[in-house]
Amino acid sequence: MESLEREIAEAFTEQPPKHEPGRILIAGSPSDSRTALVTKLTERGHRCICVSGLHEAHASLARGRFDLVLMDLALPDGDGMELARSLQQTSPSTKSIVLSGSKSFLKAVEALHCGVIDFVSIPVDLDDLVQRIESALAKSQADRQREERLARLKRVCKKLVAARQEVSQHLDTLCKDLVTAYQDVSVQMSEVAMASEFRTLLKQELDVEELLRTALEYLLAKIGPTNAAVFLADDQLNFDLGAYVNYDCPRETISVLLDHLCGAVCPQMADETELVLFDDADTFAQFIGADAGFLAGSQVVALSCLHEGECLAVIVLFRSKDDPFGEEVSTTLEILRSIFAEQIAHVLKVHHRIRPQWPSDPPDDAYEPNDYDEFGFGPLAA
């Protein structure tokens, strides 16, 4: 990048004109005056090449670049104007001077149209001609330097365009990375806020019944209406129903369903550290090793709540596949279950529980949701 900056600075810095010895092509018949002119120009440091005709002049121009072409109007093999027109098209920075033995106004105008910088009638004073030649050389060199500077500017512009495109690509990548980082941070902050809120709510509950009620209310508020059951474990890893929410199950079969879940799911989940989700009853049946026809058409989520390696509770959630759980349910449950297990352990410690006395089977008059309640809560542990 530093080299590019230097190149930009050099390209945009106006350089003073350089007056260097010129390369001069002299086209015309040999004569004493031409010999004297060449001698004079050579003494002043200029390099002169002499040719006698138009063909030789074209050949010399094809082999190398000249600052000035000094030509006779009448050449042995053609018109000097033809050479001037060729220079105007192929090498505009090369200046040309026409020497004419006649003072023809029309020829002078034609010469100007061909790009000739000076029209000199001979005979002419040698010193005056040398001065006019060097003036033409100065213009030629200035034009050449301007062309070189323009070429440098073009190169710099191409590099700037390439650098701009590269920077633009880096900026696009950076913006995408920033957006992704912002989204990640936003998600993380939301998760931290949810965890903090849930922990604050549960810390206020030192009664198991109220703890379960508060936890289920918060959980269902996050994942939406669903059937839910919390099974609590004793010291021997025997599970009993602690609380449940009946969302859309028939009232007369809910007790049998919950008993079946307790007996089939809890032993499988007691040592399971990962959250498990089943999209159909067949897969769920393979996991629990029992018939799961009672959950046909349902999506099931089961998770254990572990504290210091001990399973304190198992939570089972299920609802119709027509209303599946959202993608965020796994993250939400992972965050909340550790806090829930931690608070259960705290409540047990506060109550100095030696052997758990969890609720027995739910009564027949288990609470069902009505028109005024979004969720129904079953019997809660005392």
**CA distances from residue 71 to 62, 81, 139, 294 in whole angstroms, order as listed:** 16, 9, 18, 110
The verdict on residue 128 lying in a domain is yes
pLDDT (average), residues 56-61: 88
pTM beyond cutoff 0.75: no
The verdict on residue 376 lying in a domain is no
The verdict on residue 326 lying in a domain is yes
Residues 45 and 141 in one domain: yes
Q: Which residue has the tokens 């758990």?
A: 356
Nearest CA among 187, 257, 265, 189 for reference residue 231: 265
Q: Domain of 95?
A: 2-159
Residues 14 and 145 in one domain: yes
Residues 320 and 229 in one domain: yes
pLDDT digits over 93-135, tens only?
Answer: 788 888 887 777 888 888 888 888 888 888 888 888 888 888 8
pLDDT (average), residues 258-262: 86
pLDDT band at 315 (very low <50, low <70, confident <90, very high): very high
Residues 135 and 208 in one domain: no
Residue 62 contacts residue 15 (beta carbons within 8 Å)? no
pLDDT digits over 190-234, tens only?
Answer: 889 999 999 999 988 888 889 999 999 999 999 889 999 999 988
Residues 9 and 127 in one domain: yes
Choose between 161 and 362: higher pLDDT.
Answer: 161
Q: Give 249's contacts (C-beta < 8 A, 6+ positions apart).
A: 227, 257
Number of structural domains in the chain: 2
Strands 276-278 and 298-307: antiparallel
pLDDT digits over 134-149, tens only?
Answer: 888 888 888 888 888 8
Percentage of the residues of the chain whose pLDDT score is greater than 70: 85
Tokens representing 168 are 């633009």
Whether the bond between 356 and the residue before it is cis, its omega within 30 degrees of 0, is no
pLDDT at 348 over 70: yes
How many CB atoms are closer than 10 A to CB 158? 10
